[in-house]
Amino acid sequence: MKDSLKNTLSQIDIKQFQHDLISWFIEEQRDLPWRKDADPYKVWVSEIMLQQTKVDTVIPYFDRFLKKFPTIESFAAADDEAVLKIWEGLGYYSRVRNLHSAVKEVVGNYGGVVPDTQEEISKLKGVGPYTAGAVLSIAYGKPEPAVDGNVMRVLSRIMLIREDIAKASTRKVFEAAVRELIDHEHPSFFNQALMELGALICTPTSPACLLCPVRDHCLAFEDGVQSELPIKSRKKKTRHVDLIATVLKNNKEEFLIRKRPNKGLLAGLWEFPNVERNIHFEQSKAALQAYLIQDLQLETKLENGAFVRVDHVFTHLTWTIDAFAGELNPNIEIGQEYKLVTKDALEEYAFPVSHQKIWQAYKKQFA
């Protein structure tokens, strides 16, 4: 441990801090569906869903997930398309692919019992340092740190830690701090309380210090510098891609959809056939025709203009998609990544939100 951390810890009444924090949590915690019991499977699912995702967004997904897959065995037995469908719209789809893989591992090789040690649980796909600590502390009562963005923000203020939280190595500094601070009698409450404090009081902008239960322990508040913390270097700009997409229907009321590759952006999700718009193409429609003929070898008849434009923002990328409607030659041959499906069947597949918007616009105009 660094000397600076030791020095800071010596200024904090750890027992009093634990008491003030946990008492507040017991009194003020939100009533959330994953707090009804400490079933390791449910805790695990909730922690994966909550990665980079707000509580309000997760709640309906969590309820629907547990209704469809109430036990770890039922989820292990799910097929891949159902797994993606239940996650549709939640984002970061590798989370659910990894969770499914890990759950099958637990059911197959651990008798359906989620491992309760750092070494074993960390071997599971998608279980990193945060999730391991969260499941071990919340479901098993082990005094392991669970350091997420909330915890780094809260502790950077309380302990006046000025290291860049955007750096991967910085997490270890906070884990060392938590190991010193954590209440060994109540690890679950302690970890959850730190995160709850970050969500409700010690917020990124304008923290509610006057309502804070651990204000008296906070070195940043003492110096009046809470708004300067945490230190976080900012990221680079996103790039932009223009796409043209097609909603193509044949004379049997079937639509052409395509499965994305199993790696990379939106892996394994379904979409309407589309192509990156080449800057050298003057006309979207000309580029689209070229793609349809060359890549799909389709004979199609397109409507005149795009029926919708969809702008979509990712963390690292933005899309502008112009979507065209068209008729499809009934006798075409399609590659294995394509499917022809009816309107009802289409909606059983998992689509990214951008393509859901295309579909909604299509139905509104042509249905």
Catalytic residue ranges: 47
Return the residue of 354, 358, 359, 361 that touches DNA, per CB under 7 A. Answer: 354
Which amino acid, 116? D
32 sits near DNA (criterion: CB under 7 A): yes
Q: Under 8 Å CB-to-CB from 299, ≥6 apart: which residues?
A: 293, 329, 332
| Site stretch for DNA (CB under 7 A), options 110-118, 131-139, 220-228, 358-366 | 131-139
> Which residues ranging from 66 to 125 are in contact with DNA (CB under 7 A)?
89-94, 98, 125
Closest CB 199 distance from DNA, rounded Å: 4
Contacts of 341 (CB under 8 A, 6+ apart): 254, 255, 257, 349
- CB of 308 vs DNA, minimal distance in Å: 15
> Measured from the CB atom, is 168 or 367 closer to DNA?
168
3-state secondary structure 232-294: CCCCCCCEEEEEEEEEEECCCCEEEEEECCCCCCCCCCEECCEEECCCCCCCHHHHHHHHHHH
Sign of the alpha-carbon dihedral angle for 331, 273, 306, 279: negative
- Taking the least distance from each CB to DNA, the nearer of 102 and 298 is 102
Distance CA 259, CA 270 (A): 4
Residue 312 touching DNA (CB under 7 A): yes
Nearer to DNA, 56 or 282 (CB): 56
User: How far is Cα 121 from Cα 40, in angstroms, rounded to an integer?
Assistant: 11
Give the binding range for DNA (CB under 7 A) out of 46-54, 216-224, 250-258, 324-332.
46-54
Interacting residue with DNA among 33, 70, 108, 128 (CB under 7 A)? 128
- The β-bridge relationship of strands 239-249 and 270-271 is unpaired
Cβ atoms 280, 204 nearer than 8 A: no
Task: Quote the least distance from Cβ 229 to DNA, whole Å.
Answer: 10
Report the residue number, 136 or 247, with the smaller CB distance to DNA.
136
What is the nearest approach in angstroms of DNA to the Cβ of residue 357?
Answer: 9
Residue 8 binds DNA, judged by CB under 7 A: no
Subset of 318-347 contacting DNA (CB under 7 A): none
Cα angle for residues 108, 113, 115 (degrees, 5° grid):
100
Amino acid residing at 150: N
DSSP calls for 52-76 = TS-HHHHHHHHHHHHHH--SHHHHH
Q: Which of these ranges, 4-12, 15-23, 167-175, 216-224, lies near DNA under the rule CB under 7 A?
A: 167-175
Shortest CB 49 distance to DNA, Å = 8
Q: Rule CB under 7 A: is residue 205 a binding residue for DNA?
A: yes
Q: State the binding string over 268-307 for DNA (x if CB under 7 A, else -).
A: ----------------------------------------
Task: Give the pair of three-digit tokens for residue 285.
Answer: 């429609």
Q: Are strands 239-249 and 317-328 parallel, antiparallel or unpaired?
A: parallel
In the complex, least distance from residue 237 CB atom to DNA, rounded to whole angstroms: 6
Q: Residue 241, interface with DNA (CB under 7 A)?
A: no
Using the minimum distance from each CB to DNA, give the nearer residue, 125 or 249: 125
Please choose, out of 105-113, 143-151, 325-333, 336-344, the segment that lies near DNA by the rule CB under 7 A. 143-151
Are the C-beta atoms of 302 and 118 separated by less than 8 Å? no
Contacts for 56-64: CB closer than 8 Å, 24+ residues apart: 57/90, 58/90, 59/32, 59/33, 61/86, 61/87, 61/90, 62/33, 62/34, 63/33
Nearer to DNA, 57 or 71 (CB): 57
Reduced to 3 states (helix: H, G, I; strand: E, B; else coil), residue 19 is helix
Q: How far apart are CA 266 and CA 91, in angstroms?
A: 8
Minimum gap (Å) between residue 312 Cβ and DNA: 6
Which CB atom, from 148 or from 183, has the smaller least distance to DNA? Answer: 148
Distance between first and last Cα of the chain: 65
Q: Footprint of DNA on this chain (CB under 7 A)?
A: 32, 34-35, 46-47, 50-57, 89-94, 98, 125-132, 134, 148-150, 153, 167-169, 192, 195-196, 198-199, 204-205, 232, 234-238, 264-267, 312-317, 352-354
